[in-house]
Structure 1
Amino acid sequence: MTAIHELGALDLWRLLHARELSAVEVAEHFLERIERLDEANAFVHVDRELALRQARAADEADDRTGIIHGLPFADKMLTRRAGQPAAMGSRWLEGAVADVTDPMARVLDTGGGVVLGRTAAPEFGFAGYTRSALHGSTTLPGRPDLHAGGSSGGAAAAVAQGLLPFAPGSDGGGSIRIPAATCGLVGLKPTRGRVPAHGGVGTVGGLVTAGAIGRSVMDVALLTDALIGRVNGDTPHELTLRPPEHDDGSLLAAAVRGEGRYRIAVMTGTPWDATHDIRIAPEANAAVEVALAALEAFGHELGEVALPDATGYADAFTALWRGGAAAIGVPRAERGRLEPLARWIIDTSDELGAGGLAKAQLWASAFERRVLAAFAPWDAVLTPATALTPRPLDWYPIDDGEADFDRQVLHTPHTSFVNVTGLPAIALPVHQAATDDGDALPMGVQLIGRPGEEATLLAIGRQLERRIPWKQRALARIRD
């Protein structure tokens, strides 16, 4: 018999709706696994009492229309939930407890989810790897010497260890796609504005949006539908990007069908080429080649597209990042409690000023138009998800904030411009890179879509999933 943690989220959903499993039984199974098997440090907090209270309510409910009814998940620790720890990975906020619940947590509760706890992230989510002085490092499951990626590294490590069927995350520069690819999982960053509860609209720079991580394309589609808050195929009345006219409204339906022939281009160049010595590892190029071979076999039209002029990108992106950091409001006298990366970003935000932020936003808007024009002939654009293999724990110079940031750029030069342009993107774990010690490390690709075209990305991802056995690989790495 298949164990509960080996089932996908969609399979669990079917069993819960058929009452062949109870939400309490499922929650208890995952809670026991978290307590026993979280060697990667995926969770920073577990609330058994809250989880079982929500599970019992799910079992007793007559109405089971919630899109993730009875399914367990965990909040990324940057999402506030009333009564739960709210340190944001920072010693500056150590001991803080949230007095409000963020919309992203509320929409998953409304969807019928059962929250088990909180997953790890770096301080304020500023890093593309997951480590903090408060909680330590989150590592690639099975490889305690390597980072899991970030900033949603705890979410990815939890799914990769079989501690959750799927997990929500947030992505401001690659923070869903990086850990998903690193941990051999699927990760979707939706279009800016597609997720009403946390879609980037109304925030400084508009960079950060909620998204989903899972072992399969269908599980990611299911959780993304829940994040959007769709009920019976309808999007909520709150401010949100509406799906295209040809989209029936369900991302899960698009993933299940996995149909279509598309025009897909490999992107050359990165926006950091002018300022950093970007080198694409053979393992990253191999992942692209694996994806291309499968796409060609499906009959897609393949080509190449150059990233348009990105002169000034480094200055603009860091200015937008600093603008968001300034909103945290850490008093200068208390910044000694911050780690070097967060302190560097926040200290330099003081020098930005309204003029600097406005200049960066205008540059970003012009860049977005150039990218949309260049990508317009293509249904999707393909890049490596990461330029390098999963990074050793000592690879980032954590005592020097600026040098730390530069190292992150070298690892993931293809992800942040997708946030600047607001486009949707999905990470797919298409490749296994052999190592000298006989191990195999996950390597992924990124597919970037047109605004609002998540369904296209999921359909292509589902096609690749039928040919490339990443779900089986993920299951093989899960310990019992």
Structure 2
Amino acid sequence: MFELHHLSAQEQADWLRRGDITPTELASHYLERIERLDPGLGAFTTVTGEAALARAAYVETTVSRAVALWGLPLGDKDLSARAGVRTTYGSRLFADFVPEESDEIVRVLDEAGGVSLGKTNAPEFGMPSYTESLVAPPARNPYDTTLGAGGSSGGAAVAVAAGLLPVAPGSDGGGSIRIPAAATGLVGLKPSRGRVPANPGFASLGGLVAPGPIARTVADAAMLLDAMTEGGPYQYATRAPSWDGGALLNAAVRGEGRFEIGVMTTSPWDSAYDITIAPEAWAALDAAVNELTVLGHGLEELALEPDDTYGPAFRTIWQAGAANIPAEREQLDLLEPLTRWLVARGRELGARDLAGALTTLTQFERSVIRQFSRVDAVLTPALALTPRPVGWYDQVDAERNFEQQVQYTPFTSFANVAGLPAITLPVAVTDAGLPMGVQLIGRPGGEHTLLAIGAQLERRFAWQRRHPPQW
């Protein structure tokens, strides 16, 4: 039976503009699904139904239909503040916090005409790559609710995969958009450093974090990224191009071009941990390679030059990033074991440690861009393993926890360090019915190429027609 959430986000936006459905009717459809289905999924930490319907009515009567997301339902990741709405940052430390001001990315999406239905689930301060916290239920994979959804944008991915939202914004500091998108059969796009004027990444330690979209289709992802990017003006010098009037969406819709693509199964973590690529990940990579070959792209094998400095430097930045979490004395007891460990280690670091790590990662960035310069994009597995069970990560031994995160997702963090755009594409389904994907990494500012290739693969694999069996 057809239902509104079976439409792509683009199709829903078209229906809204034509008047086939109103923003209030569409918001009501999703709010009903959230109320009925989300208790078993953990996609949302806070649902703002009354405020969402008031916002939808306001959009109908006041906001121009020319804006990019007119009347389209969204969810704010629970690491982004919205004025007057409980924002926990995934932590018991902020369990009852209600901010007075909204973050810039929230304001940008409001200006684009979006209708927020609430806050999507995230782990404590977005530090882990899985969404299981002590302040909310875990985000469960709609394809198998005994499995996790990845993180840190796990709630956003669950919401889109289960048809609780048409599309959702996330943020990515080491894979936090791409990991949950890959785990739940979606498209996840981390833009180039500086591409999105709101929260461009420069203010985060090491320039790692970038906002980006999670969506069912490549075109839906491009539509949301265009809306994020339009929210200028730029406030930093950046190598990424400024907003170009919907060109990202055009690239995703047209899906044109033949490109040189490097195929890579090495990672910068190989010398630090035992990295094993599961057969299901190999199968997804092989499927993508076969289709890209049929499409006429040039493919060549590519391997990262060994670099023993990456792992220690990234760990240092990860720990240093936790040092400013606002917890002192007895407040530290409210933090989860992993976060408490990160805070302690981060506060032990000296200026020389931090300066050395930043220098190392800057050198790594230049090295990666040089190594990738002869190709238009680099293809890797999205994840090394199948989606992990809820509770799989060690909650006592922080060192073991970090190792598990690296072993699950060794191919994502270095794109953040290098500031490169990267997209995950759900090209395969395992014998057990679980989605598996691949990742494409582009040149600086090369989102157009990733979207074009992604659109071509989407036509071949038709993943937009897949839905979790019960949702």
Q: Counterpart in 1 of 2:201?
A: 200
Code of the residue aligned with 1:427 in structure 2: it is T
Residue 301 (str. 1) matches residue 298 (str. 2):
yes
Residue 23 (str. 1) matches residue 23 (str. 2):
yes
Q: Counterpart in 2 of 1:310?
A: 307
1:245 Cα shift? 10
Hey, which bits of structure 1, 4+ residues long, moved more than 6 A?
A: 245-248
Alignment of 1:153-172 (within 5 A): 153-172=154-173
Q: Select 2:464's aligned residue among 447, 451, 471.
A: 471
Change (3 A) 1:28 1:87: same
Which residues of structure 1 form unaligned runs of 5+? none
Residues in 2 aligned to 1:87 and 1:164: alpha-carbon distance in whole angstroms: 20
Q: Counterpart in 1 of 2:406?
A: 409
Q: Counterpart in 2 of 1:267?
A: 264
Residues in 2 aligned to 1:79 and 1:458: alpha-carbon distance in whole angstroms: 26
Secondary structure of the structure 1 residue equivalent to 2:426? strand
Q: Is the 8 A contact 2:320 2:345 kept in 1?
A: no
Q: Counterpart in 1 of 2:33?
A: 33
Code of the residue aligned with 1:20 in structure 2: it is D
Q: Is the 8 A contact 2:284 2:438 kept in 1?
A: yes
Residue 450 (str. 1) matches residue 415 (str. 2):
no
1:151-206 per-position Cα deviation (integer Å, ceiling 9, x unaligned): 10100000011000000001111010000000000000000111111221122111
Residues in 2 aligned to 1:209 and 1:82: alpha-carbon distance in whole angstroms: 21
Alignment of 1:98-117 (within 5 A): 98-117=99-118
Greater Cα offset, 241-250 or 211-220: 241-250
Change (3 A) 1:243 1:205: closer
Q: Is the 8 A contact 1:430 1:445 kept in 2?
A: yes
Q: Is the 8 A contact 2:368 2:418 kept in 1?
A: yes
What's the % identity of the aligned pairs? 52
Q: Is the 8 A contact 2:219 2:252 kept in 1?
A: yes
Greater Cα offset, 239-248 or 354-363: 239-248
Secondary structure of the structure 1 residue equivalent to 2:236? coil
Residues in 2 aligned to 1:99 and 1:244: alpha-carbon distance in whole angstroms: 33
Which residues of structure 2 form unaligned runs of 5+? none
Residue 83 (str. 1) matches residue 75 (str. 2):
no
Q: Is the 8 A contact 1:418 1:424 kept in 2?
A: yes
Alignment of 1:79-478 (within 5 A): 79-229=80-230, 236-239=233-236, 241=238, 250-435=247-432, 440-474=433-467, 477=469
1:405 Cα shift? 1.3
1:289-347 per-position Cα deviation (integer Å, ceiling 9, x unaligned): 00001100110000011112321111110111122212223224421111111111111
Residues in 2 aligned to 1:251 and 1:135: alpha-carbon distance in whole angstroms: 35
Secondary structure of the structure 2 residue equivalent to 1:137? coil
1:53 Cα shift? 1.3
Q: Is the 8 A contact 1:178 1:386 kept in 2?
A: yes
Residues in 2 aligned to 1:449 and 1:313: alpha-carbon distance in whole angstroms: 20
Change (3 A) 1:171 1:246: closer
Residues in 1 aligned to 2:72 and 2:303: alpha-carbon distance in whole angstroms: 42
Q: Is the 8 A contact 1:42 1:157 kept in 2?
A: yes
Q: Counterpart in 2 of 1:68?
A: 69
Change (3 A) 1:246 1:163: closer
Please report the TM-score for the alignment, with normalisation by the length of structure 2.
0.97
Q: Is the 8 A contact 1:264 1:381 kept in 2?
A: yes
Residues in 1 aligned to 2:63 and 2:84: alpha-carbon distance in whole angstroms: 28
1:372 Cα shift? 0.4
1:283 Cα shift? 0.6
Q: Is the 8 A contact 1:178 1:385 kept in 2?
A: yes
Change (3 A) 1:343 1:166: same
1:472 Cα shift? 1.0
Provide the aligned length of Structure 1 versus Structure 2. Answer: 470
1:243 Cα shift? 5.2
1:409-431 per-position Cα deviation (integer Å, ceiling 9, x unaligned): 11001111111111000000001
Code of the residue aligned with 1:318 in structure 2: it is R
Residues in 1 aligned to 2:110 and 2:358: alpha-carbon distance in whole angstroms: 34
Alignment of 1:7-22 (within 5 A): 7-22=7-22
Q: Is the 8 A contact 1:288 1:445 kept in 2?
A: yes
Residues in 1 aligned to 2:341 and 2:230: alpha-carbon distance in whole angstroms: 37
1:129-159 per-position Cα deviation (integer Å, ceiling 9, x unaligned): 1100111211101412111111101000000
Secondary structure of the structure 1 residue equivalent to 2:437? strand
Q: Counterpart in 1 of 2:43?
A: 42
Residues in 2 aligned to 1:358 and 1:100: alpha-carbon distance in whole angstroms: 33
Q: Is the 8 A contact 1:155 1:167 kept in 2?
A: yes
Code of the residue aligned with 1:192 in structure 2: it is R
